[in-house]
Chains A and B, each alone.
Chain A
Amino acid sequence: MSKTGAPGLALVRVDNRLVHGQVLEAWLPALDAQGILVADDEAAGNMLARSAMALAIPPRVSLLVLRLQAAADLLRPGGRGPPAARTLLLLREVRDAVSLHAQGVLMPRLNLGNVHFAPGRRQVSTAVFLDPSELQELEKLAATGTTVEVRAVPNETPLGLDAIKAKFRA
């Protein structure tokens, strides 16, 4: 778990549900993370979502909810960096991770936690569904050196990109 991306990022995770039980009860302790950065336009624009997240997060952990562009400005080289020394970055969609990476955010590892079903998406694990273009984007990310994995909780065996592709074609 020591591979860091942008300085201070403990993990970059794609999770449609953003802040929920798996993240708070499993990932925060496993990563020893002190902060959560949610980079999502909808959550950033929704007061109710922000206050509910703040309620669920343990008091010792800092929470920052930003629009995707603001997060990119913070995290790319030369930016002010994430709020806490070990921050868990949560994104809603695969395309958000692709966009951050394209803007220069270092991403040695990308974790896919929950990507819900949508028309055109095929199931690759219990909680992850991908469409062909998303799979293609992930392959491009992997080609630049990002390790892509599907893993809901830390103690689960991660599914690598080859296994994801095999499941997709099955």
Chain B
Amino acid sequence: MKVSRLALARVFFRSLFLQAAWNPRGMQNVGFADAISPALDELYQGPARAAASTRHLEFFNCHPYFAAAILGGAVRLEERVATGEAAMDSVSAFKRALGPPFAALGDGFFWLALRPAAALAAALTAPLLGPGCVLVFLGLYNSVHLAARLWLFSTGYQRGEGIVDSVGRAHLASGTGLLKVCGAVLAGAIAARTALFAGAPLQMLLTGSTIVVAAVFLPRLKTIWAVYIALGLGLALGGGVFQLAQA
């Protein structure tokens, strides 16, 4: 039994609101049950339909974007449960197995790497675009974010349990590292430029002391050396840009 393309599109659309009913007891459970319901509508009737929704109201939590992969996989599994090919609890086991590790991958990539890098890249355009740099951030961040969400959802649906393999081959970890280094270069460049361009001595003092404080506290966060080197490079680049402008 296959779910229609329209139902899949509706499930994906609803997945954008996964956290709308976040709560400490079930976390994203209501959002998940709501998102998958267009698919359940096609697969089950009567009491079985109600029972399916109840199953999906169990505890669930993941990174909101990576959850799309689990949602896609869950729709695929539900198709098999509906025909009796798979056991009913296989869907729960699938969600429980992938939720936390995928949450970690999403936290690392989106929250700690892509978001700061996109924000810093946008901040760099501030002298040119003014408040328009906000649009640069929204464009940069969301083009990656929405594309990733769509890919995760469709791959999850097409490959079911094979999603782990597909995500593994996406080499997310190296992307995360690269984005963090880019973020550090950008942060250094912006910091150096701000310090050098700032007119009032108070501003320069503030920026200077912020850099010193960061240098003192970063080791406590056990940041990797590549990030320090990148930050230093950014500082040098930022300073260099200023000298070129003077010449």
Contacts and interface: CB of A to CB of B under 8 A. Distances in A.
Contact of A56 (B94, B102, B222): B102
B93 A52 contact: no
A53 B101 contact: yes
Give the top 3 A-B pairs by smallest Cβ distance, nearest first: A21-B107, A49-B97, A20-B100
* Chain B residues touching A, majority SS: helix
A25 interface: yes
A53 B167 CA distance: 12
A115 to B, nearest CB: 11
Interface string A68-105: 00000000000000000000000000000000000000
B188 to A, nearest CB: 21
Given A17-B61, A29-B222, A56 B24 contact: no
B41 interface: no
Interface in B89-114: 93-94, 96-108, 112
B115 interface: no
B63 A21 contact: yes
Contacts of B173: 58-59
B130 interface: no
10 contacts: A17-B99, A19-B100, A19-B101, A20-B104, A21-B63, A25-B107, A49-B97, A49-B98, A55-B167, A117-B25
Interface of A: 16-21, 23-25, 29-30, 32, 42-43, 46, 48-49, 51-53, 55-56, 58-59, 116-117, 123, 126-127, 129
B128 interface: no
A51 to B, nearest CB: 5
Given A46-B93, A55-B167, A21 B161 contact: no
A43 B98 CA distance: 11
Given A17-B103, A21-B108, A48-B94, 12 more contacts: A19-B100, A20-B100, A21-B63, A21-B104, A21-B107, A25-B104, A46-B97, A49-B97, A55-B167, A56-B101, A116-B25, A116-B59
A20 B103 contact: yes
B222 A52 contact: no
